[in-house]
């Protein structure tokens, strides 16, 4: 199965999507993790991406697509995968659709985690990652509202979205996801 996880910064996407991918036994593909690894390795992609990440802006679509395209070609993605933090723009969503239709493996479901903004801010402050400075956080919210939220309508029209209440404890949210996955018959 081919899954996408969407949600604002601080919604717990990383934690929950890692758990879900191991629960469903499919690889967890986070473009944020891939980009941070590229920065760490000081590769060409990393050098191009670094400033965008630090500013809380989106890395250009072509760079991200290159990473995703290469990753989906790997053997472990043959039976499905969970995408975390990708797509983040309508353009990426459309490119992903094309890529998946070439492979003959369309998206199965898009899971959206919803959390109110005050709680999101608190979670980001508590997390304290390198790109979690107040200014960067504001940028990431702004980018989410303007560039990523339009995806919800796009996937909604395709009847692919399942929204999950992401407030509450890690365990509570995990339980909501477990129920959603069961309802959609995604369990192995």
| Cβ closest to ligand AMP, residue 20 vs residue 64 | 64
Question: 59 or 111: whose CB is closer to ligand AMP?
Answer: 59
Min separation Cβ 109 and ligand AMP, Å:
18
Q: How many other C-beta atoms are found inside a 10 Å radius of the C-beta of residue 127?
A: 13
Which among 138, 132, 23, 157 has a CA at the least distance from the CA of 82? Answer: 23
Which residue among the candidates 42, 127, 145, 170 is catalytic per the annotation?
Answer: 127
Shortest separation between residue 53's beta carbon and ligand AMP, angstroms: 4
Residue keyed to tokens 């608190």: 122
140 is catalytic: yes
Contact 94, 157 (CB under 8 A): no
Q: Which residues of 144-160 are buried (b: 16+ CB within 10 A; e: fewer)?
A: beebbeebeebbeeeeb
CB atoms within 10 A of CB 174: 17
Q: Which residue's Cβ has the minimum distance to ligand AMP?
A: 32
- In the complex, what is the shortest distance from the CB of residue 23 to ligand AMP, in angstroms, rounded to a whole number? 20
Kindly list the residues in this chain that would bind ligand AMP in the complex (CB under 6 A).
Answer: 9, 31-32, 35, 52-53, 56-59, 64, 85-86, 88, 92, 140
> How many CB atoms sit inside 10 A of residue 164's CB?
19
Instruction: Note if 123 is an active site residue.
Output: no
Q: Say whether 13 is catalytic.
A: yes
Active site residue 127: yes
Is residue 57 flagged as an active site residue?
no
Q: Which residues are catalytic?
A: 13, 88, 127, 129, 140
């Amino acid at each position: 199965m081919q899954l996408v996880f969407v949600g604002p910064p601080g919604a717990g996407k990383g934690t929950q999507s890692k758990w879900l991918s191991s629960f469903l036994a499919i690889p967890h593909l986070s473009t944020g993790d891939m980009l941070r690894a590229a920065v760490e390795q000081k590769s060409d992609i990393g050098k191009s991406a670094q400033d965008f990440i630090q500013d809380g802006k989106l890395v250009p679509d072509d760079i991200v697509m290159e990473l995703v395209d290469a990753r989906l070609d790997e053997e472990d993605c043959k039976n499905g995968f969970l995408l975390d933090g990708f797509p983040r723009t309508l353009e990426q969503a459309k490119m992903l659709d094309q890529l998946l239709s070439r492979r003959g493996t369309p998206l199965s479901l898009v899971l959206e985690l919803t959390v109110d903004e005050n709680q999101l801010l608190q979670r980001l402050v508590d997390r304290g990652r390198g790109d979690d400075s107040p200014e960067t956080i504001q940028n990431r919210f702004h980018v989410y509202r303007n560039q990523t939220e339009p995806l919800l309508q796009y996937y909604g029209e395709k009847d692919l979205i399942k929204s999950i209440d992401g407030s509450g404890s890690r365990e509570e949210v995990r339980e909501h996801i477990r129920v959603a996955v069961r309802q959609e018959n995604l369990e192995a």
